[in-house]
Amino acid sequence: MVFKRFLLAAATIATVAATPASAVILLADVAGAGAATTSVTESNISLALTVTALTFSLPVATTVNSGLTNISSFANAAPNQITQTAGGLGINGGGSGTQMDTNTRTAREAFLLTGSDAFYLRGLKLTAVDADDTLQVYGVNTNGSLVDLGYGTGFSATVDAAVAASATIKGGAGGTLIGNTFSSANGGTSTFGLDITTRFDRYILTTRAGGHVNFLGNGGQGYALSAITAEVPEPATWGMMILGFGMVGIAARRRKAAVAA
């Protein structure tokens, strides 16, 4: 009886103590001059995060890149298409090799972020951001289906009401940009948090508006990816939770056996 009480008490303590309030943050700084490459990986003890390039095509009349439903709409870019500059990562083949852009109707570009484990996308740092640029974020499920996490414009320095209003565009678990800071209205740097409450092991970043359309008086959509903030539960936390659940199971099994006897 004493041992059973000990097991239950220890299991309760382990489970409660392991409530995943703590987490490990990976700040992946991907800016830096280098040769063109196929992928860029940053890692810490808990997570490896790899950036690769995608392309996709939509009908000429399609003016937005939202509404896609499966990763099969995208294709891997040719090898060595990611450019590396002090401003961040870009993709060759579009309107600007130093940026990811969607200026070409039939060869729009996107970044694919792939984690070694599911992670929360907590923030981004983008450069070469103009006042009319837009952002589209997708989470990718294990079956390849896409979750529209929304976002739009509003990560630039413009005070244009239309741009400011579109910052609240939401889809799925999307939300507004958090703590947005920026350096200038055109060609600037924007750093912000994202209100995403679901973990995915893959995310797609592209623009929301097609770059071939005239959006707020300007044509062209794109930016460079400078840094990514990712969050995963602390490994020790999950280990304690598993231990706690295991001890609860052992205690329950012993109690069942005692009753049967």
> How many of the other CB atoms lie within 10 Å of CB of 76?
12
Assess whether 70 and 161 both reside in one domain. Answer: yes
Assess whether 181 and 256 both reside in one domain. Answer: no
Assess whether 214 and 166 both reside in one domain. Answer: yes
pLDDT of residue 201: 97
Assess whether 45 and 74 both reside in one domain. Answer: yes
Q: Is 53 within a domain? A: yes
Assess whether 197 and 77 both reside in one domain. Answer: yes
Q: Is 1 within a domain? A: no
Q: Is 210 within a domain? A: yes
Assess whether 94 and 201 both reside in one domain. Answer: yes
Assess whether 251 and 225 both reside in one domain. Answer: no
Q: Is 51 within a domain? A: yes
Assess whether 206 and 218 both reside in one domain. Answer: yes
* Single-letter amino acid, residue 169: I
Tokens 């797609």, located at residue: 204
pLDDT of residue 230: 96
Q: Which of 109, 156, 143, 127 is nearest to 32 (CA)?
A: 127
Number of H helices, E strands in the chain: 3, 15
Could you state, in chain order, the average pLDDT of each consecutive group of 10 residues for the chain (261 residues)?
Answer: 46 41 86 93 94 87 75 94 95 84 83 97 89 84 91 48 42 51 74 87 88 63 93 68 58 57 57
CB 255 within 8 A of CB 248: no
| Domain count across the chain | 2
Assess whether 150 and 88 both reside in one domain. Answer: yes
> How many of the other CB atoms lie within 10 Å of CB of 201?
17
Q: Is 5 within a domain? A: no
Q: Is 12 within a domain? A: no
Write out the residue range of the structural domain in which residue 254 sits. Answer: 234-260
pTM across the whole model: 0.77
Q: Is 2 within a domain? A: no
Non-local CB neighbours of 140 within 8 Å, separated by 6+ positions = 71, 146, 147, 200, 201, 202, 203, 204
Q: Is 11 within a domain? A: no
Assess whether 175 and 241 both reside in one domain. Answer: no
3-state SS, residue 124: strand
Assess whether 133 and 173 both reside in one domain. Answer: yes
pLDDT of residue 258: 54
Assess whether 79 and 131 both reside in one domain. Answer: yes
11-16 long-range contacts, CB within 8 A, separation 24+: 11/244, 11/245, 11/246, 11/247, 11/248, 11/250, 11/251, 12/244, 12/248, 13/244, 14/240, 14/241, 14/243, 14/244, 14/247, 15/240, 15/241, 15/244, 15/245, 15/248, 16/244
pLDDT of residue 255: 58
- Within a 13 Å sphere around the CA of 180, how many CA atoms are in the beta-carbon half? 22
